[in-house]
A and B are shown apart, each in its own frame.
Chain A
Amino acid sequence: GAGVSQSPSNKVTEKGKDVELRCDPISGHTALYWYRQSLGQGLEFLIYFQGNSAPDKSGLPSDRFSAERTGGSVSTLTIQRTQQEDSAVYLCASSLGIRDSSDEQYFGPGTRLTVT
């Protein structure tokens, strides 16, 4: 079956503009995660959705960042008034969500965001 997909694969935007990044998780996966990876760095957790529970937003770096997950499937990460420091690869992952963090996470190819 299809894996996790993300769009767009690359996004170049001007400072101050808003951007929306999309993630389509694997069908049937109830858990969805967003991470950010700056050049040559590790993954920084942003937000986590599990079923119908309230999302864990503890990793969002500022109130310019928000995310939603509609119908328990597709998720959109929105960055408002983008800044140059927002430039990074944004990775989405999904997992079965049956157990706790023992679940293997399946990653999408990422969206490379460049803010000029």
Chain B
Amino acid sequence: SQQGEEDPQALSIQEGENATMNCSYKTSINNLQWYRQNSGRGLVHLILIRSNEREKHSGRLRVTLDTSKKSSSLLITASRAADTASYFCATGQFGNEKLTFGTGTRLTIIP
């Protein structure tokens, strides 16, 4: 079963608005990462947050992590048409080099 489950599965917003995607997971983690995928091909790493961190920023991206609720959120501010893509969260466990990916959120930015 998937460790990470993204919510919503699909999201459409107007350009300039903020987009929020959520990720829930089931077991203890070492870190949580967010990736973007365009056109069903290779993924691009966006941001990593460690289990002892609560919030992290990178440009227009803001990630939060709540280990008590086993959840994370990705906020994209001032969205642009180029942000249209699928976004995946991935969790890493202690002592395990594998990442477990969620099912993704399909984000569409309407110009």
Q: How far is the CA of A41 from the CA of B102 in the complex (A)?
A: 9
Whether B30 lies near A105 (C-beta < 8 A) is no
Report which residue of B42, B93, B101 has the largest number of chain A beta carbons within 10 angstroms of its beta carbon: B42
**Residues of B within 8 A of A (CB-CB), count:** 29
- Note all chain A residues with C-beta closer than 8 A to B78: none
Q: State how many angstroms separate the Cβ of A50 from the closest Cβ of chain B.
A: 6
- Note all chain A residues with C-beta closer than 8 A to B90: 43
Whether A56 lies near B98 (C-beta < 8 A) is yes
Whether A100 lies near B42 (C-beta < 8 A) is no
Whether B98 lies near A102 (C-beta < 8 A) is no
Whether B40 lies near A37 (C-beta < 8 A) is yes
Q: State how many angstroms separate the Cβ of B97 from the closest Cβ of chain A.
A: 5
- Report B85-111 residues with CB < 8 Å from chain A CB: 88, 90, 92-104
The residue on B at minimum CB distance from A108 is B42
Whether A48 lies near B97 (C-beta < 8 A) is yes
**Residues of A within 8 A of B (CB-CB), count:** 28
Q: How far is the CA of A108 from the CA of B33 in the complex (A)?
A: 18
Q: Known contacts A42-B88, A43-B88, A56-B98; is A102 also within 8 Å of B30 by CB?
A: yes
The residue on A at minimum CB distance from B91 is A101
- A: which residues have CB within 8 A of B? 4, 31, 33, 35, 37, 39, 41-43, 45, 48, 50, 56, 89, 91, 93, 97, 100-110
| New A-B pairs, 12, CB < 8 Å, besides A42-B102, A42-B103, A91-B42 | A4-B42, A33-B99, A48-B98, A89-B41, A100-B95, A100-B97, A101-B31, A103-B97, A105-B43, A106-B45, A109-B41, A110-B40
- B: which residues have CB within 8 A of A? 2, 4, 30-31, 33, 35, 40-45, 48, 50, 88, 90, 92-104
A-B contact pairs, 16 of them (CB 8 A): A4-B42, A35-B101, A42-B4, A43-B43, A43-B101, A45-B100, A45-B101, A48-B98, A50-B97, A100-B30, A101-B92, A102-B48, A104-B33, A105-B45, A108-B42, A110-B42
